[in-house]
Amino acid sequence: MRCKQHDLHAIFTCFSKLCLNIKKIIKKFLFHNIKQGIKQIHKPLFISGVITLLFLLQTLYILLMSATVCVTLHHLTTSGAPMTDISVSQESFFFIPVDYLCTRAPITCSPDISITAMADIMRQHNISGIVAVEGNLPVGVVSLRDLRNLVAADSADLAKLTVRDIMRTSLITIGRHDYLFKAIFKMAKNSIHRLVVLNDDGTLAGVITNTDLLRVQTRCPLYLSQEIEASETYEQLQATAKRMTEMLQFATRAGADTQSLMSLITHFNDALNQRLIVLMERLEQIVLPEGAAFLVLGSEGRGEQTLRTDQDNALVHVDDLSAEGRAAVERFSERLVDLMEFVGVPRCPGNTMASNPEWRHSLSEWKAILTRWITTPIPDNMVNFGMFQDMRAIHGSLELEQQLREHILAETHRQTLFFPYMARNIVRFKPPMGLFGRIKTESRGEYKGMFDLKRGGIFALTLGVSLLSLYYGTMGGTTWEKIGRLRQLGKIAAEDLDKLEEAFTFLLKLRLQRQFRALESGRKPTNHIDPLVMTDRERELLRDAFKGVNLLLHILEDTFQLKMIRG
């Protein structure tokens, strides 16, 4: 029986963690016995043996990580997976450049200083190794192990020795642009804990250690996925959810594109919700009865959430659900919404949540509500419809979701005025760009001097593309996927669709970047941006994106002949 690639990955990860746990146990034993005094055996021999065992365990750990990468390489070269899939897979983060780990200036010393001065530098910076340089060219390296061996030998006057006398000159190096898996392989092959990283011209770029590699592993999507699956309490899930932002920042620095980041956020939000549902059943015996589905709406339904997005969800159940079943649905909805807030997903200020009875109905009731929204296109109804049309079931009956989609498609094409009125509402959200490309900002209030990125661009693009997609007979998916389907249908010029896609991608990227910066500086992420803090290049790209939004508004006006219904 052949193991699947992800099964092997799990096996290697399990054994590597086992190695680290054994190391911790041995270290505790070692330190305890040194403190108490070891009288029955030769103390230096004992210490040397245990340290050797620790080193072997660490080497085994690196080998297992290397084996994980080998399995990944085999998978990528034999599966034929498209690059768009690889870019968001957990394994792909082993293929980031080593340069990502060199975020700090390397601590160095001259080879001609005394070893006591060198040891003092290492103590001040709390490092276990140091590189000796001449003219920024690395000429040797000294580690704590070298110092330990020197002291144990007790054959020289330490005060007279310089770094040059004890440093190892046969350096194991790696280029800053080499991939991480190559660094893992070199460490394992040479039984070392650190690598000297070189620039293209041979000068020192930095040093990476096995601790750095472990840090990468614990920030990669695979690790967080495993943490979510292994969580046994709500508190553990809450702690894991707090590290999602760090993982996304890691993915951003590793070169993940905007669409891949959206996929990652969606993946983790879904995984968190589904694990909450598992724990609800296991810890509280709260379950969703048969014949019901929990739906996520809006940006979460499209798979386009960014950071700290509010909850938007609903629930649908079969018409003949018993009174007991309806009570179970209510209990499930209220508890899940509470727990989502507990792990860090804020409640919707507008109460668009399954815990609200207005967003929890039978299939027939939902069909009647949708028909009312479609046939009576007043502002509130259009907002509600725009939120609901991108529904996606994350738990329960997929058949109920499909029946709702079919009803929406049928009703919207039956009501001839629905599309023009919906389009007219969307074109009111014009981008904040004045004459000569000047970016308009708010003149007063909390966000004076800023513009609303969501209201001034993202909102019109997502709703406009969804409306065009619905008009041409398709539903669901991300805005990128909808643009792709429109391109296949050939109803809109490919060049125009390219501009819409570029505009949407840039606006979401800008939104994510600003949200990351807000979190790093301790501020609450918002959709408002000060154009004065943007670079000239960013402002130029923003104007191009706003031109893309205006293009979409013109497409809506032409497609639905809005000039005929203005008034």
- What residue type is assigned to position 418 of the chain? F
Could you read off the pLDDT of 467-497 as tens digits, one per residue?
A: 999 999 999 999 999 999 999 999 999 999 9
| Domain finish residue from 34, 54, 81 | 81
Residue 255: burial class (beta carbons within 10 Å; 0-12, 13-18, 19+)? middle
Q: For residue 133, tell me if it sits in a domain.
A: no
Within this chain, do residues 403 and 455 fall inside the same structural domain, yes or no? no
Within this chain, do residues 381 and 502 fall inside the same structural domain, yes or no? no
- Take residue 303 and report the two structure tokens written for it: 């798979």
Within this chain, do residues 330 and 301 fall inside the same structural domain, yes or no? yes
- What residue type is assigned to position 193 of the chain? H
Distances (CA, A) of 110 to 105, 150, 158, 328: 16, 19, 17, 72
pLDDT score for 8: 45
Within this chain, do residues 329 and 464 fall inside the same structural domain, yes or no? no
Could you read off the pLDDT of 396-436 as tens digits, one per residue?
A: 999 999 999 999 999 999 998 999 999 999 999 999 988 88
The dihedral built from the CA positions of residue 85, 86, 88 and 90, taken in this order, carries a sign that is positive
Q: Which residue has the tokens 């893992």?
A: 184
Residue 388: closest CA among 413, 415, 425, 358? 358
Q: For residue 117, tell me if it sits in a domain.
A: no
Q: For residue 94, tell me if it sits in a domain.
A: no
- Take residue 489 and report the two structure tokens written for it: 């249908």
Pairwise CA distance, residues 2 & 167, whole Å: 48
Could you read off the pLDDT of 91-121 as tens digits, one per residue?
A: 455 567 888 777 678 899 999 999 989 999 9
Within this chain, do residues 399 and 315 fall inside the same structural domain, yes or no? yes
pLDDT score for 308: 67
- Does residue 567 register a pLDDT over 70? no
Within this chain, do residues 315 and 445 fall inside the same structural domain, yes or no? no
Percentage with pLDDT > 90 across the chain:
53
Which pairing describes strands 173-175 and 194-198: parallel, antiparallel, or unpaired? parallel
Q: For residue 173, tell me if it sits in a domain.
A: no
Q: Which residue has the tokens 């991608």?
A: 505
Could you read off the pLDDT of 523-554 as tens digits, one per residue?
A: 888 889 999 989 999 999 999 999 999 999 99
Pairwise CA distance, residues 413 & 405, whole Å: 13
Which residues share a beta bridge with 108?
A: 131
Average pLDDT, stretch 332-336?
98
Domain count, the chain: 3
Within this chain, do residues 242 and 377 fall inside the same structural domain, yes or no? yes
**Which band of pLDDT confidence, cut at 50, 70 and 90, is reported for residue 156?**
low
pLDDT score for 222: 62
Pairwise CA distance, residues 204 & 344, whole Å: 42
Q: For residue 171, tell me if it sits in a domain.
A: no
Within this chain, do residues 396 and 367 fall inside the same structural domain, yes or no? yes
- Does residue 76 register a pLDDT over 70? no
pLDDT score for 496: 97
Q: For residue 254, tell me if it sits in a domain.
A: yes
Pairwise CA distance, residues 193 & 208, whole Å: 9
pLDDT score for 155: 56
Pairwise CA distance, residues 500 & 523, whole Å: 31
Pairwise CA distance, residues 469 & 481, whole Å: 10
| Domain finish residue from 64, 81, 98 | 81
| Domain finish residue from 415, 433, 466 | 415
What's the count of helices (H) and strands (E) in the chain, helices before strands? 22, 12
Within this chain, do residues 352 and 442 fall inside the same structural domain, yes or no? no
Q: Which of 80-84, 144-148, 173-177, 512-516 has the least mean pLDDT?
A: 80-84
CATH of the domain at 533: 1.20.120
Within this chain, do residues 320 and 447 fall inside the same structural domain, yes or no? no
**What is the average pLDDT value for the chain, to the nearest integer?**
83
Residue 277: closest CA among 362, 227, 337? 337
Beta strands in 55-159 (DSSP E): 108-109, 129-134, 137-143
Residue 242: burial class (beta carbons within 10 Å; 0-12, 13-18, 19+)? exposed
**Which band of pLDDT confidence, cut at 50, 70 and 90, is reported for residue 70?**
very low
Pairwise CA distance, residues 258 & 489, whole Å: 25
Within this chain, do residues 397 and 484 fall inside the same structural domain, yes or no? no
Per the structure, the complete domain to which residue 526 belongs is given by 423-564
Distances (CA, A) of 487 to 480, 498, 499, 502, 507: 11, 9, 12, 14, 21
Q: For residue 188, tell me if it sits in a domain.
A: no
- Does residue 75 register a pLDDT over 50? no
pLDDT score for 105: 80
Q: For residue 196, tell me if it sits in a domain.
A: no
CATH of the domain at 351: 3.30.460.10
pLDDT score for 144: 85
Yes or no: say if 348 and 340 are a contact pair by the CB < 8 Å rule: no
Could you read off the pLDDT of 16-66 as tens digits, one per residue?
A: 555 555 555 554 554 444 444 444 444 555 555 555 565 555 555 555 554
pTM for the structure as a whole: 0.67
Could you read off the pLDDT of 250-262 as tens digits, one per residue?
A: 677 666 788 888 8
Within this chain, do residues 270 and 370 fall inside the same structural domain, yes or no? yes
Could you read off the pLDDT of 179-235 as tens digits, one per residue?
A: 877 887 788 777 788 899 999 999 999 998 877 777 666 666 666 777 888 889 999
